[in-house]
Amino acid sequence: MPFRNRLSALVRAPLWSPLPWVVAGAYLALFLVLDWVSFGRPLEGLHITPWNPQPALAVALLLASRRLWWVVFVALLAAEVLVRGVPGDLFVMTLAAAALTCSYLAMAAAFERTLGEGWHFRGGRDMSWFLAIIVIGAMFSSGVYVGAYAVGGLPPPGPLWLAMARYWLGDVVGMLVTLPILVAMMDAERRQRLWHALRQRQAWLIGALIVAQLGLLLERGGGSFDLSYLLLLPVIWASMRFGVAGAVLASLLTQIGLIVGTQFGPHDDRLVFELQLLMATITTTALLLGVVVDERARTDAELRRTLRLAAAGQMSAALAHELSQPLNAIGLYAQALDLLAPKDRGPSAEEAARLPDVARRMAAEARRASEVIKRLRDFFRSGDTRLEPVAVQQLVEDALRAQATRVHSSGARITTALPENLPEVWADPVQLQVVLRNLLANALDAALDAAVDASLDTAPDAARATPPGAAAAARPARPAPVAEVGLQALADDRQLTFIVTDNGLGLSPAMAAAILEPAAGGVSTKAGGMGVGLSICRAIIEAHGGRLWAEPGPQGRLCFTLPLGNPVHDGDPIARAQP
């Protein structure tokens, strides 16, 4: 339940219900306690103190419910009479309490309007509004409070602006330190962040450092606090480590230490005023830094969620990409079965002899589809690769066999250059088949497209080169362009390198860099292609400890490497993928 949860249920109950009166009594008691605790070094006459956390409590209550404005008014009046003992008639005290209540109501309305329901600091803009409202609201409060007593015949002993400045600074520091904690305690999520920070050892170390620095500072005190800037370091540390939660906790501890130290030490009021200015600077810096840290953490979390969604989408695209071939093959085999087993007559002896072979091929394609789904699912879930020794020659033959029908029907050529006695590689055979089939299929696409384009370009040139009326036999015969793809393997002591080439249109440097990226950020070189095949290939090769890249040039050239040797015995990092 956002922001106005349990407290909201209490304060929004009917006035005749005991619940609002419980909240009012608890608030009144806490307000008087805070006023009594912070009542130190008051300015003579108006009893203005250097730190006022009570306005933060009032604004927090009004954020929960405007209906309890009367509780804020009564608490202000009670504090003037019971704690501060400000001399003056009841009318002036009532006027000052009413003016402060209006100021706190305006601040609560401004907070809710600018920060919205839930009152979350979503970024630097929200924190800037928070600081601006506190500064302006405290300025208004100081004016109406000091002005009310001055009009009532109780002016401050010194200049009016100095009393207003002291009141303003006490309210600013008190609200900066106290209000974020009060609001956090009213929200389950932010309350959990505070408890999480308090449970960390690093938080206690930061607290010990703050206490030690406060002790050193106040012991040296005397006439100046020349090392006071050191208090900024642990507060910044807390903000960097725990965000806004760390900032408010460290600032609160620092403020309590300063108040206690200045209460019981012989320090000049001017130095106390300077320390409060320092405290305002420290708290403002900590809050601004903390909100940046929290914003970055939220951005990182959103990025992780986006990456998980992108990985799921890439896996879906990969499965669609890889399943298209076996599913098309199964469909062709099903058509072949339909032709071999006509309905109007029984199959002939030749047809009957071919039926088992077609059925076996259908089953093989179905098994391949199932294995591709399983292996790619495991790979995209956790990056797992099931390594086993794989014969390179057999791997290449299987990849060539998958392209045989297409090569035969298109008239293309695939040439191989494989040295004898190629060593085995430790790899996932299914995933490596995905890589080889994709690279060969892409190379065939590029070479066939280039051959078609070349045929279309040369036909008009030949027609224009032949004079009108010339005999057809006189025209020079030009061979039709042939799509050619090459597959080469090279081995050295450390790795095996595969090179796939084609006589297509080649790759520009920009295309060579973009072709290995998914379609969301890169390109697809096929008409109607999804742009995921090569990005999947690169991910698989890198998971095996190798590298895949495209080389720019007048013809297509893609290369990938695989490490040689047993990764389990050699201590290779990819050994973790071994089942």
Three-state SS sequence of 156-187: CCCCHHHHHHHHHHHHHHHHHHHHHHHHHHCC
Name the 3-class secondary structure at 495.
strand
Question: Residue 6: which pLDDT band, with cuts at 50, 70 and 90?
Answer: very low
The structural domains of the chain, ordered by start, are 9-183 (1.10.1760), 384-458+481-577 (3.30.565.10)
**pLDDT band (50, 70, 90) for residue 314:** low
Residue 549 gets which letter from DSSP? E
Q: pLDDT tens digits, residue range 468-519?
A: 555 444 455 555 678 899 999 998 888 999 999 999 888 888 888 888 776 4
Give the span between the Cα atoms of 548 and 449, in whole angstroms: 23
**How many residues make up the chain in this entry?**
579
Lowest-confidence region among 39-48, 153-162, 497-506 = 39-48
Q: Which of 160-174, 187-201, 234-248, 335-349 has the lowest mean pLDDT?
A: 335-349
CA 29 vs. chain centroid, Å, equals 44
**Residue 555: closest CA among 454, 434, 432:** 454
In whole angstroms, give the CA distance from residue 44 to residue 154.
11
SS3 content of the chain, % helix, strand, coil (to 5): 70, 5, 25
pTM attached to this predicted model: 0.55
Identity at 108, one-letter amino acid code: A
Q: Which residues contact 296 (CB under 8 A, 6 or more apart)?
A: none
Three-class SS state of 384: coil
Tens digits of residue pLDDT in 239-258: 899 888 888 889 888 888 87
Asked if residue 555 has pLDDT above 80, the reply is: yes
pLDDT for residue 138 is more than 80: yes
Q: Determine the Cα–Cα distance for residues 9 and 540; give it in Å rounded to an integer.
A: 56
* pLDDT value for 150: 83
571 against 78, higher pLDDT: 78
Strand partners, 413: 484
